[in-house]
Amino acid sequence: MPELKCKDPVAVNLWYAIAPLEDVKDARVQRSVLLEQPIAYTRNDAGDVVVWAYEGRPGDAPGDRALPVKERFGYFWTTLGMPERDIFPIPEYEEEDRRNIHAASFGVNASAPRLVENFLDMGHFPFVHTDILGAEPHTEVKEYFVEVSEERDEILASNCKFWQPMAAASSSGGADVDYIYRVPHPFCSVLYKSSPLDDGRNDVIAIFIQPFNQEQVRVHMLLSLLDDNSDDTQIRLFQQTIFGQDKPILENQYPKRLPLDPRAETPIRADKSAIAYRRWLSGKGVAYGVIPPSA
């Protein structure tokens, strides 16, 4: 078997979402890239998604380079290695009264960890998502809690609040909206946002990042909502509008790889979750898509 281009054992031994299941309906062979390794996938005669690595031409069946497949959260996932852990859970996905929507998969010329950090960040709302997720002069990021759960090996940022101009469809003025963020995977994150429609329950938005290489990714966006009013198109387009605003920021970050040296950039209190994320990546020894701290 040819050697992998990606030399980071942590990155190799992770599960990655590759495509929404709704995009793999027939026996057409489709191609993608994971960690610089060309991969192909299709649905076989038995109706199962099959994935394989290839060099040159993909062929039309796995041959001897079949990769493991799992179906989770409406996507199929694969890995180039042998993950010790299963894909992280999102229990809300299974709740019966939720609408689970694949919002989009976008290509971004940025590194996966830069996307995760942006996803965890609230301070940019008034400047990047102006009049949607935030509006000047309401720019304050209030104190919130960050913890790293040893048991679940994930980062949790809770009690996050941010003032939003259109907190809910029903409200005329702005209000604080509550967020909880999870980072259960070096290149995936899940956020919980207080639902305007159901007090005490949360809408869920998740990003699953598939690194093509260290500086180019495909990000898959899942929504799991309690919203009955909007149609799928409206919900998707809203999410795409938001992500489309983040994209030029992400593509204009330099260096593209996330620097893990604490002295590479300047954190402030609002960046507690990002600081925890960088430390967590350092602790795991993640080397893909990052600039490791200098010795």
Place of tokens 């010795």: 295
- List the one residue from 71, 145, 232, 284 that touches another protein (CB under 8 A): 232
- List the one residue from 100, 106, 158, 201 that touches another protein (CB under 8 A): 106
Give the nearer residue to another protein in terms of CB position, either 12 or 155. Answer: 155
> Does the protein bind another protein through residue 136 (CB under 8 A)?
yes
CA end-to-end span of the chain: 33
Distance between CA 256 and CA 250 in Å, rounded?
A: 8
Q: Measured from the CB of residue 193, what is the shortest distance to another protein in angstroms?
A: 19
Q: Which of 193, 197, 191 is nearest to 227 (CA)?
A: 197
Helix (H) or strand (E) holding 12: helix 9-12
> Does the protein bind another protein through residue 259 (CB under 8 A)?
yes
Q: Are 16 and 78 in contact (CB under 8 A)?
A: yes
> Does the protein bind another protein through residue 9 (CB under 8 A)?
no
Give the nearer residue to another protein in terms of CB position, either 162 or 288. Answer: 162
> Does the protein bind another protein through residue 31 (CB under 8 A)?
yes
> Does the protein bind another protein through residue 145 (CB under 8 A)?
no
Give the nearer residue to another protein in terms of CB position, either 185 or 220. Answer: 220
- The number of beta carbons lying within 10 Å of the beta carbon of residue 82 is 8
- List the one residue from 15, 76, 243, 288 that touches another protein (CB under 8 A): 243
Distance between CA 259 and CA 37 in Å, rounded?
A: 24
Query: DSSP per residue over 257-292, as a string?
Result: SEE-STTSS---GGGHHHHHHHHHHHHHT--TTEEP
Stretch that binds another protein, among 54-62, 64-72, 80-88, 251-259 (CB under 8 A): 251-259
Q: Please give the structure tokens belonging to residue 205.
A: 């938005």
Q: Please give the structure tokens belonging to residue 249.
A: 């920021």
Q: Please give the structure tokens belonging to residue 119.
A: 């996803």
Stretch that binds another protein, among 39-47, 76-84, 106-114, 179-187 (CB under 8 A): 106-114
Give the nearer residue to another protein in terms of CB position, either 128 or 188. Answer: 128
Give the nearer residue to another protein in terms of CB position, either 78 or 202. Answer: 78
112-120 and 232-250 helices, crossing angle to 10°: 110
> Does the protein bind another protein through residue 264 (CB under 8 A)?
yes
Q: What are the residues whose beta carbons fall under 8 Å from the beta carbon of 94, sequence distance 6 or more?
A: none
- List the one residue from 58, 62, 126, 211 that touches another protein (CB under 8 A): 126
> Does the protein bind another protein through residue 140 (CB under 8 A)?
yes
Binding site for another protein (CB under 8 A): 20, 23, 31, 102, 104-109, 117, 123-124, 126-128, 136-141, 218, 232-234, 236-237, 240-245, 247-249, 251-255, 259, 261-270
